[in-house]
Amino acid sequence: MSSRVLSVSLVALAIWFVGVSVADAAKYGFTVFPRLGAPASAFQVSFVAPWSADGDNTEYWVDVVGPPACAQVSDTGGRARRGQREVLRLTAGDDLLLPRFRSRWCRGSYVGLVYWQTLADAPNRYVGYVRFRVR
Protein backbone atom coordinates (compact mmCIF):
# COMPACT_ATOMS: atom_id res chain seq x y z
CA MET A 1 0.00 0.00 0.00
CA SER A 2 1.41 3.39 -0.93
CA SER A 3 2.05 5.99 1.77
CA ARG A 4 -0.55 8.29 0.16
CA VAL A 5 -3.28 5.64 0.32
CA LEU A 6 -2.28 4.83 3.89
CA SER A 7 -2.39 8.47 4.99
CA VAL A 8 -5.79 9.00 3.31
CA SER A 9 -7.07 5.87 5.05
CA LEU A 10 -5.79 7.07 8.43
CA VAL A 11 -7.40 10.49 7.95
CA ALA A 12 -10.72 8.86 7.00
CA LEU A 13 -10.51 6.63 10.07
CA ALA A 14 -9.76 9.64 12.30
CA ILE A 15 -12.73 11.56 10.86
CA TRP A 16 -14.98 8.54 11.42
CA PHE A 17 -13.78 8.26 15.06
CA VAL A 18 -14.37 11.96 15.70
CA GLY A 19 -17.88 11.63 14.29
CA VAL A 20 -18.51 8.53 16.36
CA SER A 21 -17.21 10.14 19.56
CA VAL A 22 -19.51 13.15 19.15
CA ALA A 23 -22.51 10.90 18.44
CA ASP A 24 -21.67 8.59 21.37
CA ALA A 25 -21.28 11.50 23.77
CA ALA A 26 -24.73 12.76 22.86
CA LYS A 27 -26.44 9.37 22.69
CA TYR A 28 -25.11 7.74 25.88
CA GLY A 29 -23.83 10.74 27.86
CA PHE A 30 -20.17 9.67 27.68
CA THR A 31 -17.73 11.49 29.94
CA VAL A 32 -14.06 10.90 30.72
CA PHE A 33 -12.63 12.41 33.88
CA PRO A 34 -10.11 13.87 33.88
CA ARG A 35 -9.74 14.63 30.17
CA LEU A 36 -6.15 15.72 30.84
CA GLY A 37 -4.43 13.83 33.64
CA ALA A 38 -1.08 13.31 35.32
CA PRO A 39 1.07 10.15 35.07
CA ALA A 40 -0.41 8.83 38.34
CA SER A 41 -4.06 9.70 37.52
CA ALA A 42 -6.97 7.28 37.56
CA PHE A 43 -9.37 7.93 34.70
CA GLN A 44 -13.12 7.32 34.87
CA VAL A 45 -15.20 6.55 31.81
CA SER A 46 -18.92 6.94 32.45
CA PHE A 47 -21.99 6.55 30.27
CA VAL A 48 -25.65 5.62 30.45
CA ALA A 49 -25.96 1.86 29.90
CA PRO A 50 -27.96 1.12 26.73
CA TRP A 51 -28.43 -2.54 27.76
CA SER A 52 -28.59 -4.38 31.07
CA ALA A 53 -25.57 -6.38 32.22
CA ASP A 54 -25.49 -9.07 34.90
CA GLY A 55 -21.74 -8.85 35.59
CA ASP A 56 -21.25 -12.57 34.90
CA ASN A 57 -22.46 -13.49 31.41
CA THR A 58 -22.83 -9.92 30.16
CA GLU A 59 -20.76 -6.86 31.02
CA TYR A 60 -19.43 -3.55 29.79
CA TRP A 61 -15.78 -3.51 28.76
CA VAL A 62 -13.36 -0.72 27.82
CA ASP A 63 -9.98 -1.22 26.17
CA VAL A 64 -7.59 1.74 25.91
CA VAL A 65 -4.26 2.05 24.10
CA GLY A 66 -1.71 4.85 24.14
CA PRO A 67 1.75 5.67 22.84
CA PRO A 68 3.98 2.77 21.72
CA ALA A 69 5.55 0.77 24.60
CA CYS A 70 3.06 2.29 27.06
CA ALA A 71 0.08 0.93 28.94
CA GLN A 72 -2.72 -0.96 27.19
CA VAL A 73 -5.46 -0.99 29.80
CA SER A 74 -8.81 -2.66 30.07
CA ASP A 75 -11.61 -2.67 32.64
CA THR A 76 -14.97 -4.38 32.95
CA GLY A 77 -18.08 -3.31 34.76
CA GLY A 78 -20.33 -5.30 37.05
CA ARG A 79 -24.09 -5.35 37.16
CA ALA A 80 -25.85 -2.53 35.33
CA ARG A 81 -29.45 -1.80 34.53
CA ARG A 82 -30.43 -0.28 31.24
CA GLY A 83 -30.52 3.51 31.71
CA GLN A 84 -28.22 3.40 34.77
CA ARG A 85 -24.94 5.35 34.73
CA GLU A 86 -22.05 2.90 34.42
CA VAL A 87 -18.53 3.91 35.53
CA LEU A 88 -15.36 2.11 34.42
CA ARG A 89 -12.06 3.01 36.12
CA LEU A 90 -8.68 2.94 34.39
CA THR A 91 -5.27 3.02 36.07
CA ALA A 92 -1.85 2.37 34.54
CA GLY A 93 -1.44 -0.55 36.97
CA ASP A 94 -4.21 -2.36 35.09
CA ASP A 95 -1.85 -2.78 32.11
CA LEU A 96 -2.70 -5.96 30.21
CA LEU A 97 0.89 -6.74 29.26
CA LEU A 98 3.04 -5.68 32.23
CA PRO A 99 0.73 -5.07 35.20
CA ARG A 100 3.36 -5.65 37.90
CA PHE A 101 5.86 -3.30 36.30
CA ARG A 102 3.71 -0.33 35.38
CA SER A 103 2.36 2.16 37.88
CA ARG A 104 2.32 5.37 35.82
CA TRP A 105 0.89 6.46 32.49
CA CYS A 106 3.24 7.58 29.74
CA ARG A 107 2.74 11.10 28.48
CA GLY A 108 0.60 11.32 25.37
CA SER A 109 -2.84 10.56 23.96
CA TYR A 110 -4.92 7.47 24.72
CA VAL A 111 -7.95 6.20 22.80
CA GLY A 112 -10.29 3.34 23.46
CA LEU A 113 -13.56 1.61 22.71
CA VAL A 114 -16.38 0.59 25.04
CA TYR A 115 -18.33 -2.58 24.29
CA TRP A 116 -21.17 -4.54 25.82
CA GLN A 117 -19.98 -8.13 25.69
CA THR A 118 -21.61 -11.46 26.30
CA LEU A 119 -20.33 -14.99 26.86
CA ALA A 120 -23.19 -16.27 24.71
CA ASP A 121 -22.60 -16.98 21.05
CA ALA A 122 -23.42 -13.43 20.00
CA PRO A 123 -21.31 -10.53 18.78
CA ASN A 124 -20.19 -7.80 21.15
CA ARG A 125 -22.09 -4.53 20.82
CA TYR A 126 -20.21 -1.30 20.26
CA VAL A 127 -21.17 1.38 22.79
CA GLY A 128 -18.69 4.21 22.31
CA TYR A 129 -15.29 5.73 21.82
CA VAL A 130 -13.23 7.45 24.53
CA ARG A 131 -10.04 9.46 24.58
CA PHE A 132 -7.91 11.29 27.13
CA ARG A 133 -4.42 12.75 27.47
CA VAL A 134 -1.64 12.49 30.02
CA ARG A 135 0.61 15.55 30.45
Domains of the chain: 3-134 (2.60.40.10)
| Predicted confidence band of residue 10 (pLDDT cuts 50, 70, 90) | very low
The number of beta carbons lying within 10 Å of the beta carbon of residue 103 is 13
Q: Which of 43, 17, 21 is nearest to 30 (CA)?
A: 21
Question: Who has greater pLDDT, 5 or 91?
Answer: 91
Q: What is the pLDDT of residues 52-100, one digit of tens each?
A: 999 999 999 999 999 988 878 888 998 999 999 999 999 887 777 665 6
Question: Who has greater pLDDT, 134 or 98?
Answer: 134
Amino acid 35: pLDDT? 95
Instruction: Kindly report the pTM of this predicted structure.
Output: 0.77
